[in-house]
Amino acid sequence: MECTIVTIKMISEACGLSIAAVSKALNGQPGIGQEKAAMVRRTAQEMGYYPNAAAQTLKTKRSFNIGILFQNMLAHEYFSLILESIRQTAEEKNYDITFLGNRHSPGMGYYEHAMYRQCDGVIVAQGNFDFDGLRRLAESEIPVVSVEQTFTGRTAVMSDNVGSMEAIVQYLHGLGHRHLAYIHGEMGDVTRARLTGFHRGCRACGIQVPDDWVIPARFHEPEDSIQATRKLLEGKTMPDCILYPDDISCIAGIAAAQSMGLSVPKDISCFGFDGIRLSAVMTPSVATYRQNAQDMGRRAAEELIAAIEDPKCYVPRVITVPGQIQPGGSVRDLTLSEISEKE
């Protein structure tokens, strides 16, 4: 069975438009109306048209290939959603994605791997990467956009890590909580920003936090949060609520409290971060801050493509993507208790 190669000329004849107009529509260029452009793309799809990648590369001096550094994070829903959003956005803009690493060949770092794969640009997602290797990539000529970490002179797409923690503290304060503890993740851009937001929120609400109620733990490591939770709950005084660096850690903390004979939220409240689907189906459901992972992935892909396609006019920036509080059964409304006592 022969395979007919669909050309731009064939599409132009089918649409009754010039070859130049069809080319503009297929390449997303100005100079053709939106309705006509949509009609051309629809016709091309129906006819089974596929752009000639080699011809595009020669013409544009681009490979239409985006590299992604995304290490050991696919098991976590939040990062998987970011990746899926990056993929969808890249495909909509006619780009492919390639996963990068430094294990491809001895002596080949992230920069070398990106060059080897002919990547037009690279998105660095959060992960435990070799910092020197990242710095070499970030300081190279390759366009780079990072997610949840910053590099000088590069665009970064960040959650509203300061504002989110301020909002969480204010939310808990509104529910009558005056004694807050915070189990935070490993130190880095995200944690530093969240700690700032936590302390700002506490100061604004007049909440005093003992130093030993702010405890480090690794992100997404249940055993770390279990030990930290036990340490807080075995002290002379107990907090009203414990804030966690992510929902997995919060779920582990709830389990630790329950294993000690405590009821959540009657005896202790727990607040997570990320807003993964599992948090809504737990018993009790997890009160959390839901990050907008889809928007973060989309913005990262759009910014990188803009830097690739218009390097002379593109200006790197830090983009903050807000999320929202997701109430749950793991946090008790202490104001209701005060009303009951008064009655």
> How far apart are the C-alpha atoms of 52 and 47, rounded to whole Å?
15
Under 8 Å between Cβ of 202 and 305: no
Please state which CATH number belongs to domain 161-291+326-337. 3.40.50.2300
Count of beta carbons in the 10 Å neighbourhood of residue 286: 31
User: Rounded to a whole number, what is the distance in angstroms from the first to the last CA of the chain?
Assistant: 84
Q: Which residues are registered as beta bridge partners of 63? A: none
**For residue 107, which amino acid is it?**
G
Residues 6 or more apart in contact with residue 168 via CB below 8 angstroms: 198, 201, 243, 271, 289, 325
> Can you give the pLDDT of all 343 residues of the chain as single tens digits?
344 678 888 999 999 999 999 988 887 788 899 899 999 999 988 988 876 554 555 455 668 999 998 766 556 788 889 999 999 999 999 899 998 865 555 567 888 888 888 999 999 986 655 577 788 888 999 999 999 888 889 999 999 999 999 999 999 999 999 999 999 999 988 999 999 999 999 999 999 999 999 999 999 999 999 999 999 999 889 999 999 999 999 999 999 999 999 999 999 999 999 999 999 999 999 999 999 999 999 999 999 999 999 999 999 999 999 999 999 999 999 998 654 444 4
Q: How many Å separate Cα 110 from the centre of its chain? A: 20
Q: How far apart are CA 7 and CA 40, in angstroms?
A: 13
Give the chain's radius of gyration (CA, Å).
25
User: How confident is the model at residue 253, as a pLDDT?
Assistant: 98
Q: Give the homologous superfamily in CATH for domain 65-159+293-323.
A: Response regulator (3.40.50.2300)
Q: How many CA atoms lie within 13 A of 332 on its CB side?
A: 20
pLDDT on residue 1:
37
CA distance 107 to 136: 13
Task: List the one residue out of 75, 71, 123 whose CA is nearest residue 95.
Answer: 123
Contact 125, 69 (CB under 8 A): yes
As a residue count, the chain comes to: 343
Token representation of residue 312: 């002379």
In this prediction, residue 130 carries a pLDDT of 59
What residue type is assigned to position 71 of the chain?
A: Q
The C-alpha atoms of residue 288 and residue 139 are separated, in whole angstroms, by 36
Regarding beta strands 324-326 and 96-99, do their DSSP bridges make them parallel or antiparallel, or are they unpaired?
unpaired
Check residue 128 and give its pLDDT: 58
CA 127, chain centre distance (Å): 11
d(CA 130, CA 154): 18
Token pair listed for 46: 């129906």
Q: What's phi and psi for 241, nearest 5 deg?
A: -150, 140
* Other Cβ atoms closer than 10 A to 328: 22
pLDDT at 60: 53
Task: Report how far residue 228's alpha carbon sits from residue 239's, in angstroms, rounded to the nearest whole number.
Answer: 13
Residue 48 to residues 6, 215, 226, Cα–Cα distance (Å): 7, 57, 55
Residues whose CB falls within 8 Å of the CB of residue 288, separated by 6 or more in sequence, listed in order: 247, 250, 271, 272, 273, 274, 275, 276, 279, 325, 326, 328
Give the domain ranges of the chain: 1-25+33-46, 65-159+293-323, 161-291+326-337
